[in-house]
């Protein structure tokens, strides 16, 4: 008898349910489907009564023993923790100017583009929310392009929030002066995130002419996004 190809049981880091679809993940489906095929694909003549007596009653079960032993051995060899070189990461940016409509009010910053990513993604229902597929500590870094479109002085505030709640002691302030004044700023945070958690960056201004500004490409300079966000898992 030819034994079908098998797929080892997925590593502990692979979630059983894919949060992005709400369905069983591809890796677990492949594993369970292979087990289904190995046990006859629904066409075996073995009954549950036969299995209660002994699996050796059927030649097909005897043929399966080496395969099952291999699967069990694979379980013993799985690492307790994910391999150190396999981490979740993501990069996102916005090519849209983002402005407040009311002063001294928090606005969630949005991202209309995703660069490379693995295990870190935007919420399909709200592109200001960033989610992760694995509980861990994440290094969240951002850079912003702030602009003022009229004279005088204005203040721009920015801070991170987890599940809608501002992170304590995390705010930053930029004071910008003059018409067509531009300031670039960057910061990073270490944030603990679990499956189902989301984080956002919020901003607030004390003058409506202070905003997150994007600029089109002008050779030799590439386009300037209003915000660039990178997320990297640093600890499991």
Residue 220 is part of a domain; what is its CATH number?
2.60.120.40
Per-residue pLDDT of 138-172, as tens digits, reads 999 999 999 999 988 999 999 999 999 999 999 99
> Which domain-ending residue is among 50, 77, 104?
77
Quick one: 71 and 94 in the same domain? Answer: no
pTM of the model: 0.64
- Examine residue 167 and state whether it is found in any structural domain, yes or no: yes
Domain span at 134: 89-235
Residue 195's pLDDT band, with cuts at 50, 70 and 90, is confident
Residue 10 is assigned to a structural domain of this protein:
no
Q: Are residues 103 and 73 in the same domain?
A: no
Total structural domains in the chain? 2
- The dihedrals phi and psi of 127, each to the nearest 5 degrees, come to -80, 15
Q: Residue 16: is the preceding peptide bond cis (ω within 30°)?
A: no
Question: Distance between CA 111 and CA 154 in Å, rounded?
Answer: 24
**pLDDT tens, 83-140?**
556 789 999 999 999 999 999 999 999 999 999 899 999 999 999 999 999 999 999 9
- Rounded to the nearest integer, the mean pLDDT of the chain is 85
**36 domain residue, yes or no:** yes
45 and 122 co-located in one domain: no
Closest CA to 230 of 87, 117, 112: 117
Are 56 and 144 found together in one domain? no
C-alpha to C-alpha distance for 180 and 149, rounded to whole angstroms: 5
């Amino acid at each position: 008898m030819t034994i079908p190809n098998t797929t080892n049981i997925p590593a502990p880091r692979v979630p059983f349910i894919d949060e992005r679809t709400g369905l069983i993940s591809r890796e677990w489906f492949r594993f369970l489907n292979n087990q289904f095929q190995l046990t006859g694909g629904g066409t075996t003549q073995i009954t549950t009564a036969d299995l209660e007596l002994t699996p050796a009653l059927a030649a097909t079960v005897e043929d399966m023993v080496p395969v099952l032993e291999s699967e069990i051995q694979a379980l013993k060899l799985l690492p307790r923790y994910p391999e150190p070189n396999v981490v979740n990461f993501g990069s996102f940016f916005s090519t849209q100017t983002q402005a407040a409509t009311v002063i001294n009010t928090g606005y969630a910053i949005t991202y209309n583009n995703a660069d490379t990513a693995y295990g870190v993604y935007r919420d399909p229902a709200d592109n200001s929310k960033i989610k992760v597929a694995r509980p861990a500590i994440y290094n969240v870094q951002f850079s912003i392009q702030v602009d003022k479109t009229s004279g005088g002085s204005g203040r721009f505030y920015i801070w991170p929030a987890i599940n809608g709640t501002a992170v304590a002691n995390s705010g930053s302030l930029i004071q910008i002066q003059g018409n067509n004044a531009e300031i670039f700023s960057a910061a990073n945070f270490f944030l603990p995130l679990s499956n189902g958690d989301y984080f956002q960056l919020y901003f607030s201004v004390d003058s409506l002419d202070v905003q997150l500004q994007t600029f089109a490409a002008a050779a030799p300079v590439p386009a300037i996004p209003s915000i660039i966000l990178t997320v990297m898992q640093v600890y499991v």
